[in-house]
């Protein structure tokens, strides 16, 4: 009997505003894989993630998550899936604390994934601790740096302890230390068996954890296999890229450790 794949896409097409964004995309992701969707701006990689999650409608083809069609949303085990969208600048409105944002990740369609009481708070604090922000739980996210805000969104996804995690351009607009911290978080998730699907313009600090690259161009898959080699100068001493595991000393002092205790 074949194992159920976390992600299975066949003949996927998406048209938005009269334009073809994706055309005949076919791919699958196995349990425990770390896959990057790569491509230039406008290649369709973010739309592909949104179509896989059913956020944008497919005009042709099929998508299954854990063996269930996204077209039949109620059948999909959404509690097993986390999604970190592209970071957006905080807008005006009611201020929200980091704890409140993360706890909102326990909300589902018409019901809660977990209690609204002390158990939910413990899970949210554990998720914030996993990304190194437990001490900022009661601070408003509007005052956070770009990297801190990105980590709050990751904690919001982690609070469900997902088996499958999608991240859309998680390196965009954050500083080098935040990129390194993110790389360490995702590396540990991968070691724990979490399936990772990450949208990237370039791999940067996440290069060591990406085992497979799906490259899009003009809405079509033009490569699916080993990640492309780094560009010239990638390993130059002055290059901004640093592998997250190159410095044990940095890890000891900066890398948060995942401790998700839902009890």
Q: What is the pLDDT of residue 92?
A: 44
Question: What does the pLDDT read at residue 190?
Answer: 93
**First CA to last CA across the chain, in angstroms?**
35
Give the DSSP H or E segment for 99.
helix 98-103
pLDDT at 7: 98
Average pLDDT over residues 136-143: 92
pLDDT, tens only, 28-66: 999 999 999 999 999 999 999 999 999 999 999 999 999
Give the start-to-end residue ranges of the domains of the chain.
7-254
Provide CATH code, domain 7-254: 3.40.50.300
pLDDT of 18 reads 87
**146-159 tens-digit pLDDT:** 888 888 999 999 88
Contact yes or no for 12/60 (Cβ under 8 A): yes
pLDDT for 230 beyond 50: yes
Tens digit of pLDDT for each residue in 161-180? Answer: 899 999 999 888 788 888 88
Residue 235: pLDDT over 50: no
Closest CA to 12 of 66, 74, 67, 69: 69
Predicted confidence (pLDDT) at residue 250 exceeds the cutoff of 50: no
* Coil, helix or strand at residue 212: strand
Confidence of residue 88 (pLDDT cuts 50, 70, 90): low
Averaged pLDDT, 181-203: 92
For 104-132, give the DSSP string: GGGEETTEESS-SSHHHHHHHHHHHHHTT
For residue 96, what are the contacts with CB-CB under 8 A and spacing of at least 6? 140, 141
Range with lowest mean pLDDT among 129-143, 206-220, 234-248: 234-248
CA distance 34 to 31: 9
Half-sphere exposure of 177 (CA within 13 A, CB side): 9
In the block, tokens 């911290």 appear at: 181
Is it the case that residue 110 has pLDDT exceeding 50? no
pLDDT at 253 over 80: no
161 half-sphere exposure, CB direction, 13 A CA radius: 14
pTM of the model: 0.81
User: Rounded to an integer, what distance in angstroms lies between the CA atom of residue 207 and that of residue 126?
Assistant: 27
Q: What angle do CA 85, 130, 247 make, to 5 degrees?
A: 100
Q: What is the pLDDT of residue 258?
A: 46
Average pLDDT of the residues of the chain = 82
Close Cβ partners of 29 (under 8 Å, ≥ 6 residues apart): 5, 6, 7, 8, 35, 164, 195, 197
User: For residues 76 and 104, what is the distance between their CA atoms, to the nearest angstrom?
Assistant: 20
pLDDT (0 to 100) of residue 105: 86
């Amino acid at each position: 009997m074949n194992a159920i794949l976390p992600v299975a896409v066949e003949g996927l097409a998406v048209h938005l505003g009269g334009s073809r964004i994706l055309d005949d995309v076919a791919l699958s992701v196995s349990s425990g894989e770390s896959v990057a969707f790569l491509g230039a701006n406008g290649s369709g990689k973010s739309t592909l993630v949104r179509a896989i999650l059913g956020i944008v409608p497919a005009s042709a083809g099929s998508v299954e998550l854990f063996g269930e069609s996204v077209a039949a949303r109620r059948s999909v085990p959404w509690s097993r899936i986390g999604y970190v969208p592209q970071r957006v600048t905080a807008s005006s409105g009611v201020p929200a604390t980091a704890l409140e944002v993360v706890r909102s990740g326990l909300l589902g369609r018409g019901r809660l994934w977990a209690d609204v009481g002390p158990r939910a708070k413990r899970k949210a604090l554990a998720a914030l601790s996993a990304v190194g922000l437990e001490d900022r739980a009661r601070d408003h996210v509007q005052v956070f740096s770009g990297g801190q805000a990105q980590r709050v969104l990751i904690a919001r996804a982690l609070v469900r302890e997902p088996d499958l995690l999608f991240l859309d351009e998680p390196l965009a607009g954050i500083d080098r230390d935040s990129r390194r911290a993110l790389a360490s978080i995702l590396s540990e998730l991968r070691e724990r068996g979490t399936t990772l699907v990450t949208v990237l313009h370039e791999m940067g600090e996440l290069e060591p954890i990406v085992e497979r690259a799906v490259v899009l161009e003009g809405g079509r898959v033009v490569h699916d296999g080993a990640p492309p080699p780094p560009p010239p100068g990638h390993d130059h001493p002055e290059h901004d890229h640093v592998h997250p595991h190159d410095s044990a000393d940095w890890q000891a002092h900066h890398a948060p450790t995942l401790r998700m205790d839902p009890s």
